[in-house]
Amino acid sequence: MSDLLEFRNVTKTYSRGLLSRVSTTALSDISLKLETEQPTILTVAGESGSGKTTLAMLLLGFITPTSGEILYKGKDIQTLRGEERMLFRREVQAVFQDPFAVFNPFYTVDHLLSVPLDRFKLATSKSEARAIMMEALTAVGLRPGDVLGRFPHQLSGGQRQRINVARALLLRPKLLVADEPVSMVDASLRANILETLRGLQRNHGVSIIYITHDLTTAYHIAKSIIVLYRGSVMEAGEVDAVIKTPQHPYTRLLVDSIPWPDINRRWGETEIKAKEMELSDHALGCKFSSRCPFVMDKCKEIPPLFRLTQHQAASCYLFEQNPSIAPEKLSDLLPV
Amino acid sequence: MTTAALTQPEIIQPSRLTLILRYLRRNKGLTVGLFILLLLVIFTVYGLATVDLTNAYPISVKGKQPPSWEFPLGTDFFGRDLYVAMVVGLKQTAIIGLLAGALGTFFGVVLGFISAYFGGWLDTIIKGICQILTPIPALLIQVIIAGSLDKRDVTIYTMAFVVVLLAWMGPTLVIRAQVLTMKERQFVSVAKLSGMGDLGIIFSEILPNLLPFIAAAFVNQVFYSVFASFYLAVLGLGPLREPLLGNTIWAAQAQSAFFNNWWWWPLAPAVALVLILGSLALINMGMDELANPRIRRAE
Amino acid sequence: MNPVLQVNNLQVSYYTDAGRARALDGVDLTLNAGEKLGLVGESGSGKSTMALAMMRMIKPPGRIEGGQVIVDGTDLITISDADMLKARLSKIAYIPQGAMNSLNPVIRIGAQMMDAIKAHQDQSTSDWISSAEMEKRCKQALEAVDLRSNVFKMYAHELSGGMKQRVCIAISILLRPKVIIADEPTSALDVVTQRQVMETIDRVQDQIGAAVILIGHDMGLMAQFVDKVAVMYAGRLMELSNVRDMFTDPKHPYAQALIRSLPNLENKGVFNGIPGMAPALLQLPGGCAFHPRCLHAMEICTIQRPQPTPLPGGRIVECYLYSEKV
């Protein structure tokens, strides 16, 4: 049984300039496996520039890798045609960050839901389509009468995002890429949306890749986590372990800087070492070395992933006494 | 948990008509332009329905008559009833304007879309041609083309064609720019995720959002075409038999109308032209605001 | 202690095609020098309108309809436009959301800072300072926000997001204002940079003794940074408490629901959203704006808006659960 989606040594670089090509590495040698049997929620965490959006775009097939392959059920995404491609499209869906941008301002919000029903032939008649839409809207906590037939600018951000999730619900994809689904939504509504997403995984067998920079929500919803920094994996493993006991210096800095809404848990003592780095940083070796308080000489070579426990690994020479694992084995770390 | 909270009270939005009227009140230029245009249209339509159109052609009535009750705008050297000439002339100007405008806009939309959506070498070629042709003084080329045509071949349709030849680049580049931004919009990505193919995206997702721009480009083209046909006719390059407004002025000038004290002859077409171009210009500027919501003024 | 900022009964409405939206419906606030107040609310609560109203930057179709904003003894609502221009930056400063967009991309940072000072120069008085002196002040401000003084000569695009935001902070402290309003200053920044920027604001505020109003919707940030928290809902101030009380013992039902919905390390997997939606400002419910979603709603809540009730510890709540009327 081949995996649902597989990244094999995927690297994505962008180059600019005509004469002297300047290239930026968005993602560097990432390997990942997502299987169909057990749906899970995996968080890909990172700041802007970490490569998490590039990962999302690659997963959805919107951009192609510079090297490496992305396989869907064993076949390279780029080679899919016709029915297979439609199936891929249907089974891999997304919920994006901006609740407004996903709507075509010319149409009512119904359009967002009716188009996929029509294209994927999920309903045999208009009334059946409408029934499916109403069911999905109710499932996310909206009253269909309140939103159907309205234009996107007539609804609130929270309502719009819930409609987005409803769309994901009615498509019953196998894999859902959620790119910062709640960051532009009010705090009181986030809980609702996250709960719906988790419901998708628990009750409908959808695997979710939750991409975010907000570790608090990641902690709540995900089972496993990959921390990216400038295109490379810094730490990965079970989300409880990584957030409660972060090992990699970068993860420790991140977790320490989370503003927990808890009066007793103050911002940590981890010193933010770097005064800003230059915007085009071509550090060789470990990408974090220029900001790391523990940097050593050997960091000039990219550290491999060192396995710390069964479900936690960090890519840092501080842990070199632990066994290292090949990048291809990344998925083994991640519990389901 | 109170369930009453789940309904949103209905906010009464004012009717579409009220909103349109309020907008017109804010955008005075557009309103005035539309009003003048409306008057011209009524004038033409009424005229076409009531008068004998053959009087617009030479040797129909007594020539060189000043304005009177029988000939409200007078007659010219060749024996045309200038009132009828105005009516027919306006109709023909409308034909040229609309025809050239529609053709220019159509090419602009098709080429702009192809160029922006599919990119690659097609884009490079189309964009390249536009950029090369734009700085070429259109007037010069049009004069050369029109001047080298056999006099008998010149009709209002060939005029429209000559005008479009060097006018299609503008709309192409504008539409191309719009499609380029639109295709990066997230709703296009979502449409792709929903299984839509390229053609579906072009026609159902992007095109409807471009309607304001296409409308603005169309008005712009009409304005330009009317203006171009006018100056070509004034130079004597139009279909001389037809009572085009520019032709009338050219003929009046050729016959030294002012020196001969036939002041009414060039006056009528001049006034008509000021009104047409003025109204089109106002509408054009007004449409600009419509197509570009950022300059829409707040109440 | 004389409060450095006093807002009394501030009212702002927006007149739209669909009617009048009451963005701020009678808000009262007091702030002392050196205090940090967090103004929290969801979209539509009126918190950004508060910031703009205090800076008198409300544009039509919005209008300030009443109330006072007294900074250091002067009511900013009633002074002339020219005086208000002078007051901005010198008495009350504003750090915007999205600093990326508020710095002029074609002018060097230093020139923009100098512009800010020059605009407040009065050449007739003895307050006038030389260019060299101005430049020195700008560089001092840059150092205060932990930027190297060579940033003075750079352009905005050469800086990262966090650095740009810190330049905005530097500009805001140039003239040593009494009140600094920071409107979601870190919303576009990552967690680490956010912490840096907030620590910077903390430090400079201490240095010049200003009061800070932090506007946002991230309660976590409030917990880490402010002394007092004010919760807004539908243009009204529902509760004002010191930060410890707000997080451990919130009084207003809305504040309670908000605190309960926040994810933290202990409540993994538990989601407590607030059902229902915030009301449209065009059609506020009668009485208390929160009553349709409130667990404790009583009949009087639907009829009459509650008055602000003072509670021990300097707290104020707008809720009938605590007023003597019940």
Predicted local confidence at residue B298, as pLDDT: 39
Residues of C in contact with A265 (CB under 8 A): 264-265
Residue C120: which pLDDT band, with cuts at 50, 70 and 90? Answer: confident
Q: At what angle do helices C109-119 and C81-90 cross, to 10 degrees?
A: 130
Largest CA distance in chain C: 67
> Which of C40, C262, C283 to mutate to test binding with chain A, by most A CBs within 10 Å of its CB?
C262
Residue reference for tokens 């009220």: B18
C219 contact A CB<8A: yes
Residue B56 pLDDT > 80 = no
CA angle B95, B100, B104 (to 5 degrees): 155
* Per-position DSSP letters for C113-151, written without gaps between them: HHHHHHHT--TTSTT---HHHHHHHHHHHHHHTT--GGG
Residues of A in contact with C271 (CB under 8 A): 191-192, 194-195, 198, 220
- Domain spans, chain C: 5-317
Nearest-angstrom CA–CA distance, A323 and A307: 6
C18 contact B CB<8A: yes
**Tens of pLDDT, residues C54-96:** 998 888 888 899 899 999 888 888 888 888 888 888 889 988 8
Residues in chain A predicted with pLDDT less than 50, given as ranges, are 1, 275-276, 278-280
Nearest C-alpha neighbor of C239 from the set C250, C223, C247, C227:
C250
Write down all domains in chain B, each with its CATH number in brackets.
Answer: 23-295 (1.10.3720.10)
Which chain A residues have any C-beta within 8 angstroms of a chain B C-beta? Answer: 60, 62, 86, 89-90, 93-94, 96, 98, 101-107, 112, 115-116, 119-120, 141, 143, 146
Return phi, psi of residue B89, to 5°.
Answer: -60, -40
Nearest-angstrom CA–CA distance, B134 and B131: 5
Residues of A in contact with B189 (CB under 8 A): 60, 62, 96, 102
One-letter amino acid for residue C212 of the chain: V
Predicted local confidence at residue B292, as pLDDT: 63
Residue reference for tokens 């290239």: A23
How would you class A74 by CB atoms within 10 Å of its CB: exposed for 0-12, middle for 13-18, buried for 19 or more?
exposed
How would you class C102 by CB atoms within 10 Å of its CB: exposed for 0-12, middle for 13-18, buried for 19 or more?
middle
What are the angstrom distances between the C-alpha of A254 and each of A247, A278, B147?
11, 20, 75
Q: Which two tokens stand for residue C207?
A: 């240095």
Q: Which residues pair with A314 in a beta bridge?
A: A235, A306
Looking at chain A, list the stretches that DSSP marks H as alpha helix, in order from N- to C-terminal side. Answer: 52-59, 82-91, 110-119, 126-139, 144-147, 157-171, 187-204, 215-221, 239-244, 249-256, 330-333
> Which of A106, A138, A140, A189 to mutate to test binding with chain B, by most B CBs within 10 Å of its CB?
A106
Predicted local confidence at residue A210, as pLDDT: 94
Pick the CATH number of C5-317 from 3.40.50.300, 3.40.50.720, 3.50.50.60, 3.40.50.12780: 3.40.50.300
Nearest-angstrom CA–CA distance, C201 and C193: 12
Q: Nearest residue on chain C to A215, judged by CA atoms?
A: C191
- Which residues make Cβ contacts (< 8 Å) with residue B110, sequence separation at least 6? none
Task: Return the percentage of chain B with pLDDT > 90, whole number.
Answer: 16
Residues of A in contact with C263 (CB under 8 A): 190-191, 216-217, 219-220
Q: Which two tokens stand for residue B128?
A: 């390249």
The answer to whether B185 contacts A62, with C-beta atoms less than 8 Å apart, is: no
One-letter amino acid for residue C144 of the chain: A
The answer to whether A104 contacts B208, with C-beta atoms less than 8 Å apart, is: yes
Nearest-angstrom CA–CA distance, B38 and B25: 17
Which H or E element spans position C52? helix C47-54
Average pLDDT score over residue span C144-162: 85
Which H or E element spans position A211? strand A207-212
Nearest C-alpha neighbor of A235 from the set A318, A178, A336, A175:
A318
Give the number of A-C residue pairs with CB atoms closer than 8 Å. 123
One-letter amino acid for residue B84 of the chain: V
Nearest-angstrom CA–CA distance, B237 and B246: 10
**Tens of pLDDT, residues B174-218:** 899 999 988 888 999 999 999 898 889 999 999 998 888 898 889
Residues of B in contact with A141 (CB under 8 A): 6
What are chain A's partners, defined as 3 or more CB pairs within 8 angstroms? B, C
Residues of B in contact with A62 (CB under 8 A): 189, 192
* Distance in angstroms between the alpha carbons of the first and the last residue of chain C: 34
Nearest to B6 among C276, C279, C297 (CB): C276
What are the angstrom distances between the C-alpha of A272 and each of A51, A119, C144, C193, C194?
22, 50, 17, 9, 11
Q: Long-range contacts of range A60-64, CB-CB < 8 Å, 24 or more positions apart?
A: A60/A92, A60/A94, A60/A177, A60/B189, A60/B193, A61/A88, A61/A92, A62/B189, A62/B192, A63/A12
Nearest-angstrom CA–CA distance, A285 and A308: 21
Q: Which two tokens stand for residue C185?
A: 């200053």
Nearest-angstrom CA–CA distance, A65 and A57: 10
Residues of A in contact with C277 (CB under 8 A): 156, 158-159
Average pLDDT score over residue span B136-150: 82
Predicted local confidence at residue A114, as pLDDT: 92
Nearest to C292 among B5, B298, B299 (CB): B5
Residues of C in contact with B6 (CB under 8 A): 275-277
Q: Which two tokens stand for residue B109?
A: 């939309």
Q: Which two tokens stand for residue A157?
A: 């951000």
**Tens of pLDDT, residues C301-320:** 888 888 888 888 888 898 88
> Do B230 and B48 touch, CB atoms closer than 8 A?
no
Residue C229 pLDDT > 90 = yes
Q: Nearest residue on chain B to C285, judged by CA atoms?
A: B9
Residue C124: which pLDDT band, with cuts at 50, 70 and 90? Answer: low
Residue reference for tokens 């309103």: B31
Looking at chain B, list the stretches that DSSP marks H as alpha helix, in order from N- to C-terminal side. Answer: 16-26, 28-50, 82-118, 120-133, 138-148, 156-165, 169-183, 186-193, 198-200, 207-234, 245-254, 264-291
User: Chain C, 239-298: which have a CB under 8 Å from a chain A CB?
Assistant: 243-244, 247-248, 257-259, 261-265, 268-269, 271-275, 277-278
Compute the half-sphere exposure of residue A189: CA atoms within 13 Å on the CB side of its CA. 25
* Per-position DSSP letters for B153-178, written without gaps between them: G--HHHHHHHHHHTTTHHHHHHHHHH
Calculate how close chain A gets to B111, using CA atoms only, in Å.
23
Mean pLDDT, all residues of chain B: 82
> Do A235 and A215 touch, CB atoms closer than 8 A?
no
Per DSSP, the three-state class of C249 is: coil
Q: Which two tokens stand for residue B108?
A: 């602009």
B192 contact A CB<8A: yes
User: Chain C, 159-218: which have a CB under 8 Å from a chain A CB?
Assistant: 159-163, 190-196, 199, 217-218
Calculate how close chain C gets to A248, using CA atoms only, in Å.
15
More confident residue, B240 or C290: C290
Q: Nearest residue on chain A to B8, judged by CA atoms?
A: A146
Query: What's the full length of chain B, in residues?
Result: 299
Residue B3 pLDDT > 50 = no
Calculate how close chain A gets to C308, using CA atoms only, in Å.
24
Give the number of A-B residue pairs with CB atoms closer than 8 Å. 53
Residue C125: which pLDDT band, with cuts at 50, 70 and 90? Answer: low
Calculate how close chain C gets to B288, using CA atoms only, in Å.
22
Predicted local confidence at residue B1, as pLDDT: 35
User: Chain A, 234-263: which have a CB under 8 Å from a chain C CB?
Assistant: 240, 243-244, 253-254, 257-263
Calculate how close chain B gets to A100, using CA atoms only, in Å.
9
Calculate how close chain C gets to B14, using CA atoms only, in Å.
6
Q: Nearest residue on chain B to A57, judged by CA atoms?
A: B189
Q: Nearest residue on chain B to A87, judged by CA atoms?
A: B195
Q: Which two tokens stand for residue C83?
A: 């005086």
What are chain B's partners, defined as 3 or more CB pairs within 8 angstroms? A, C
> Do B68 and B83 touch, CB atoms closer than 8 A?
no
Predicted local confidence at residue A279, as pLDDT: 45
